[in-house]
Amino acid sequence: MANFRLHCRLFSLAVFLFLFLFPLSFSHSQYDDDESDQNSPISRFQHYLRIKTAHPDPDYASAVSFLESQALEIGLHTKILEFVPGKPLLLVTWNGLNPSLPSILLNSHMDSVPAEPSKWLYPPFSALRTSDGKIFARGSQDDKCIAIQYLEAIRNLRSRNFIPDRTIHISYVPDEEIGGFDGASKFVLSKEFKELNVGFMMDEGQASPGDEFRVFYADRSPWGLIIRAEGAPGHGSRMYDNSAMENLMKSVEIISKFRESQFDMVKAGETANSEVISVNPVFVNAGIPSPTGFVMNMQPSEAEAGFDLRIPPTADPDAIRRRIVEEWAPARRNLTSQIIEKGPIRDYLGRPLMTMTNDSNPWWSVFKTAISDAGGKLSRPEILASTTDARFMRQLGIPVLGFSPMSNTPILLHEHNEFLKDTVFLRGIKIYESIISALSSFVADASQ
């Protein structure tokens, strides 16, 4: 009996050790930097994430050299273009059987926004993978994931001897995060771009916290608005009409009311945040400086305020311009306004910059079917609240969808602790295999 009890105790001890200590041995190694497998899609993703392409000093040379080496290894053609010195653009090509058909272009920007390392759980350029598969890095969602997924999908398709009908191009562009003016904006105007004869393009999208993938058919166009007021200066004790500050404050009041009317629709759930005109004050510049701050007993003769406006493609830009001149900054109140348009708002035929997501656009149904063939689901197509390089291609009348296959993923672009799970990244490769093979095999009529 005593012996039996001892056995029981030994057995319980063994079970205890197994249940409690065995898992500990895993959680001790908090992250795994994949040294064991240097030749996997994940390790190639990590390699790219470790290249510091964050502003203000993005290492484009290393990014181009890594991506080019990958493309060449897969057997693709490459070309480096440079429209502005020090800002290279890598073009990768997989020739199709029928080069007369318009091609497919997959776009990804190489740069990212900066990161504040002290606010991160792990160094933002370490690309560390935690034991639950999260890969932490600046750019992991925006948008270095798609850069590698495009290549990995093509690698897999080629290994299965898939041959595309249409030629597939990938463009790796600089400077998207600072407006794209030395990158995509110059690229679309080049003879090299014209020669690609692009029929359909895909660009970055955003993560989706739910099961469905998000897809974007338009961006909002950013405008900077500066309103300047002038008026007679005067003693701080005197009340008189039309001082610069008074006129500017009236403007701010009217603009705030407009902002409220737009925001109320969002709050009421009537429309999405990205479908209204947003206007947010970003600076106020007024006052006469003194050694201790500002002169307090004098009303200044000049004052200005700056606003960030985002215009959805469904809004009429001329009506907004009229509203600014007539209501927000009327000359009768000694106000002037300046609009800084950051990119196009209409295409070359004067149409809104939108890609159709209905039967009128045959590429839409090919894309949608490719997603469901790969077992994915799409949520209702959206307008992107911010801006991407896609606007430059849409201006040429090219249909562009914004899409990054990240479902069940918190939206962390430009935030601290940006990460992407390894399983989500790997599933994205399968999704692109389906999309790329479907788009490149799509033959409707000669015009598309």
Give the total of residues touching Zn ion (CB under 5 A). 3
Q: Which of 53, 54, 52, 42 is nearest to 135 (CA)?
A: 42
Is 204 annotated for ligand binding?
A: yes
Contact map string, positions 352 to 381, toward Zn ion, x by CB under 5 A: ------------------------------
Q: Is 176 a catalytic residue?
A: yes
Q: Which of 205, 198, 210, 72 is nearest to 142 (CA)?
A: 205
| CB closer to Zn ion out of 134 and 144 | 144
**Binding range to Zn ion, per CB under 5 A, among 29-37, 125-133, 202-210, 268-276:** 202-210
Q: Which long-range contacts (CB under 8 A, 24 or more apart) does 186-194 make?
A: 186/83, 186/84, 187/81, 187/83, 187/89, 187/392, 188/392, 188/393, 188/395, 188/396, 190/81, 190/83, 192/79, 192/81, 192/91
Beta strands 216-219; 382-384: pairing state: parallel
**Binding range to Zn ion, per CB under 5 A, among 147-155, 200-208, 395-403, 414-422:** 200-208
Is 260 annotated for ligand binding?
A: no
Q: Is 111 a catalytic residue?
A: yes
- Near Zn ion by CB under 5 A: residue from 34, 68, 111, 142: 142
Is 235 annotated for ligand binding?
A: no
| CB closer to Zn ion out of 127 and 157 | 127
Distance in angstroms (rounded) separating the CA atoms of residues 71 and 54: 22
Q: Is 389 in the site for Zn ion (CB under 5 A)?
A: no
Please report which residue ranges of 213-309 form alpha helices under DSSP H.
244-267
Contact map string, positions 92 to 131, toward Zn ion, x by CB under 5 A: ----------------------------------------
Which DSSP state fits 117?
G
| CB closer to Zn ion out of 94 and 425 | 425
Footprint of Zn ion on residues 11-40 (CB under 5 A)?
none
Q: Which of 176, 219, 304, 433 does the annotation list as catalytic? A: 176
User: Nearest residue to Zn ion, using CB?
Assistant: 142
Check if the beta carbon of residue 149 is closer than 8 Å to that of residue 202: no
- Near Zn ion by CB under 5 A: residue from 34, 68, 143, 175: 143
Phi, psi of 31 (to 5 degrees): -140, 160
| CB closer to Zn ion out of 174 and 300 | 174
Distance in angstroms (rounded) separating the CA atoms of residues 276 and 310: 8
- Angle value at C-alpha 99, between 362 and 81, nearest 5 degrees: 100
Q: What is the DSSP string of 292-334?
A: TEE-SSEE-SEEEEEEEEEE-TTS-HHHHHHHIIIIIS-GGGT
Is 246 annotated for ligand binding?
A: no
Is 414 annotated for ligand binding?
A: yes
**Binding range to Zn ion, per CB under 5 A, among 51-59, 135-143, 167-175, 219-227:** 135-143
Known binding residues for Zn(2+) are 109, 142, 177, 204, 414
Among all residues, which ones are annotated catalytic?
111, 176
Chain residues that interact with Zn ion, rule: CB under 5 A: 142-143, 204
